């Protein structure tokens, strides 16, 4: 749930970066598009997407990254769009 603090997946992310998976694929896509990074900051924290409803509705959709580069659009796009439609 929200408020649990930042999640990290250091070993899993490094493993995927070295041997394939969503992390390596994300780096390949970014490099192909000319995206450059500076490797500064906290790169081990995972993020997510939350859709918050109006008033007391609270969280109507939650997606937490399980590994670096994991995408809500590849995994749960239909659920995300349905949640957005509920609040618009």
Q: Residue 84 and residue 46: Cα distance in Å, rounded? A: 22
Q: Give the sign of the dihedral formed by CA 61, CA 66, CA 71, CA 77.
A: negative
pLDDT in tens, the chain (88 residues): 445 555 655 666 666 666 666 667 777 888 899 988 776 777 677 889 999 999 999 999 999 988 776 788 888 999 999 999 999 8
Q: What is the pTM of this model?
A: 0.56
Question: Cβ(46)–Cβ(64) under 8 Å?
Answer: yes
């Amino acid at each position: 749930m929200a408020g649990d603090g930042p999640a990290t997946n250091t070993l899993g992310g490094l493993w995927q970066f070295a041997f394939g998976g969503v992390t390596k694929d994300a780096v390949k896509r970014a490099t192909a598009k000319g995206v450059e990074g500076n490797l500064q900051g906290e790169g081990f924290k995972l993020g997510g997407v939350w859709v918050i409803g109006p008033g007391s509705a609270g969280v109507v959709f939650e997606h937490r990254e399980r590994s670096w580069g994991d995408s809500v659009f590849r995994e749960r796009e239909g659920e995300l769009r349905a949640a957005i439609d509920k609040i618009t």
